[in-house]
Amino acid sequence: MSTKAWEDRVAALWADETVDDEQRIERMTALAADAPHPALGEFELGGAHDSGGREAEAHVHYAAATVAGLDAVDPTRAAQMVVQHASTLRNLGRVDEAIAMLRDAPEHPATGAAPRVFLALALHSAGRSDEALRVAIEAVEPTLPRYHRSVRAYAAALTGD
C-alpha cells in the first residue's frame, strides 16, 4: 500500500463517527501493521487506544513511536504526540513526567498553544493552581485583541514574578 493510500485510510478511520472505540482500535491495529514506517503505526495505534480510554496501552505505543524515531519520520505527528503522550501520562497519575514533557514540547504549527494548555492542566493536577492559571493565561494572551500588557502583568503576579 502506498504512503498516500495508508494516510487516506487512517484519516478516514479517524473521521468515521460511526465507529466505536473498540472498532477503531481493531481497525487501527490492522492499519498500523501496514504502516509505511513503524513509528507512524505506533503513533496512530497509541492515539486509537488513547481516544478509547486505554491510557496504559496508549503509553506503550507512544513510547514505541518515540523509540522508532517518529520525530525524524514525521515532525508534525511527533509534535502532536508530545501533547497526547503527556496527557496520557497525566491521566495515568504520572503528572511530573507530563509536566516535564510539556515544558520541553517543541513549538509547531500543528499544535499551536496546545502544549501550554495541557501543561496548565498537568500543573493543576499537581496542585499548582496559580502556576497552571498563569500558563493558561499566557497561552491565550497572544490571541487577545487588546489588554496584552495588563494580562501579562496579572499572569506574572500569580506566581510572584
Mean pLDDT throughout 2-14?
95
For residue 139, tell me if it sits in a domain. no
Could you tell me the CATH number of the domain that includes residue 15?
1.25.40.10
- pLDDT at site 86: 98
Q: Provide the pLDDT for residue 37.
A: 96
**Cα(137)–Cα(113) distance, integer angstroms:** 11
Instruction: Kindly report the pTM of this predicted structure.
Output: 0.91
**How confident is the model over 115-128, as a mean pLDDT?**
97
pLDDT above 80 (res 112): yes
Does residue 77 lie in a domain region? yes
The domain in which residue 54 lies consists of 3-127
Report if residue 149 sits inside a domain: no
pLDDT tens digits along 53-86 = 999 999 999 999 999 999 999 999 999 999 999 9
Q: Is the residue at 160 inside a domain?
A: no
- Give the pLDDT mean for 136-158: 94
Banded pLDDT at 161 (limits 50, 70, 90): confident
Identify whether 138 is part of a domain.
no
**Backbone dihedral region for residue 54 (phi beyond 0: left; psi -120 to 50: alpha; all else: beta):** beta
d(CA 98, CA 33): 28
Spatial contact of 44 and 10, defined as CB atoms under 8 Å apart:
yes
The two counts, helices (H) then strands (E), for the chain are 10, 0
**Residue 106 pLDDT:** 87
Count of structural domains, the chain: 1
CA dihedral 140, 141, 142, 146 (to 10 degrees): 130
Per-residue model confidence (pLDDT) at position 19 = 96
Mean pLDDT rounded to a whole number for the chain: 96
Tell me if 148 is assigned to some domain.
Answer: no
pLDDT at residue 118 is higher than 80: yes
